[in-house]
Amino acid sequence: MSESADPAAVSAALAALEAHRLDVGHRRVADLFAQDPGRAERFQARLDDLVFDYSKHGVTETTLAHLFALLRAARFEARRDALMRGEAVNLTERRAAMHMALRDFTGGPALVEGRDVTQDVRSERARMLAFAGQVRDGALRGATGERISDVVNIGIGGSDLGPAMAARALSPFRGDGPRMHFVSNVDGADMADTLAGLDLARTLFIVSSKTFTTQETMANAQAARARIVARLGETAVGEHFSAVSTRLDLVARFGVKPDRVFGFWVWVGGRYSIWSSIGLALAIAVGAKNYEDFLRGAGEVDAHFREAPVEANIPVLMALLGIWRRNVWGDATHAVIPYDQRLARFPAYLQQLDMESNGKSVTRAGAPVAMATAPVIWGEPGTNGQHAFFQMLHQGADVVPVDFLVAAQPVAADARHHDLLFANCLAQSEALMRGRTLEEARDLLRAQGLDEAEAARLAPHKVFAGDRPSSTLLYRRLDPRTLGRLIALYEHKVFVQSVVWDINPFDQWGVELGKELCGRLAPVTSDPQASLAGLEPATAALIAARRRLAAS
């Protein structure tokens, strides 16, 4: 077991942060800027063209010193080194979490529990990229000899969220490649709507499931298979399916050819699997060079996380600011707002990464945690969010820390639109920080021509508390390298927070109970004559009500 936190030292560091909050809590961020003209530059961290600005958080050098003390008490460096050495840091499953090996282009060994996996990784990636290239250039064709025009990835969780998010984010880099589609929900509407209008003779399906037993994925895979058989015949299955799985026996029984099956390893968790063969859909979408640029961008962040001092380490700073807001100020949610429409699925991707990793209530040793863990992660692209939930961000009773993501340059988009988009992003972060006082609201209303009585009546409704924290991630442009860096930054942020909370971020037992119960209920919901005896009363009542509605 890698070195654990010192509970007494962690408690003392948290107590110091609580005391410090009483001292700094009354100081508005706008005043901190007024007192320190160099604040904007000093409260930034950089990685090449990527800028992480956290100057709009209510922190000072003293705050950071307390947070770094908390990090030392949690023995962060020892835990980080164990992770990077490929030790079995996933304690409950006795596995390493060495997804970093999948994006390591340094040429050095990548050890997993003492074994160098570099050649394994390179070999499987080369196979996968060669197949992706054949799909893209038309060498691989369907059963009727027609070129593949559409690819449908069937997966769920990490086998869907990553590829779907990344393919959308990098859509300008598709070139002449096929159109990409993603099916994840067991709701048959997902498959039906996706296949509507597609020519099955020109469609390739990728079934992404490590065990090839995931309930939702296999239900959708069987539905797709039935469509191919009905349209093109049983012999066409092998020409229209590929798989990402380690269960070669089940894949062969399904009808996928061995040279169309790609695997990955137990030390690659599902929510980190975009870097593995699960990225096949993305590789087909953007091509080998762009896919490798994506990997290299993440590898650059791995090096930064491993080597940069904590004072300039972006994922460490992101994590500690989150700890400050979650555990000292008590903020229960955290919004991620990308000012980029192509990053529309990025908040959903981060929901799994953060909440499945750190949504835990026991320590690595199995004891109850002593503090709150993962916040609720949510968000939508700006500027759409401004016309939906930003009202709550600005004037709601709860404070919600925000991450803003924005590019300096647009990609395949109008430059004038991007100027307006960028202005909106900056305006929202400034408004959250600055706010508007009652007196300022009255002055504004009087300047608009309202009399004193009307200005006094309306002014309270136009007050903004302000002093609401936000960070901004600014980068040159959203390209494959940048997307890889953004994902890896959040991965390492999540790990750092798990260290402070002393939890295992690499298992996900919380998804198991629902799966078990569904396995018991599925035969009952599919058979209208099945007995409801022994079921939980509310469940039995709902099944009975559904039977009545289905029969009416």
Catalogue the active-site residues.
356, 387, 515
Q: Are 105 and 296 within 8 A, CB to CB?
A: yes
CA distance 243 to 262: 6
Amino acid at 423: A
Q: For residues 402 and 337, is the Cβ–Cβ distance under 8 A?
A: yes
Going by C-alpha positions, the residue among 138, 132, 148, 139 that lies closest to residue 198 is 148
In which region does residue 484 sit, left (phi positive, over 0), alpha (psi from -120 to 50) or beta (all else)?
A: alpha
Identify the burial level of 458 via C-beta atoms within 10 angstroms of its C-beta, where 0-12 means exposed, 13-18 middle and 19 or more buried: middle
The SS3 assignment for 150 reads strand
- Type of residue numbered 176: D
Question: Which value, in Å, is the radius of gyration of the alpha carbons in the chain?
Answer: 26
Please state, in angstroms and rounded to a whole number, the distance separating the CA atoms of residues 191 and 195.
Answer: 6
Distance, in Å, from the CA atom of 11 to the CA atom of 16, rounded to the nearest integer, reads 9
SS3 assignment, position 335: strand
DSSP letter string over 488-547?
Answer: HHHHHHHHHHHHHHT--TT--GGGHHHHHHHHHHHHHHH-TTS--TTS-HHHHHHHHHHH
CA distances from 179 to 152, 182, 189, 199, 303 (A): 9, 10, 20, 12, 34
Backbone angles phi, psi at 535, to 5 degrees: -80, 155
Kind of pairing, strands 50-53 and 470-475?
antiparallel
Alpha carbon separation from 217 to 158, 194, 233, 350 (Å, rounded): 12, 15, 22, 21
8 A C-beta contact, residue 370 and residue 11: yes
Amino acid at 477: R
DSSP H/E element including 336: strand 333-338
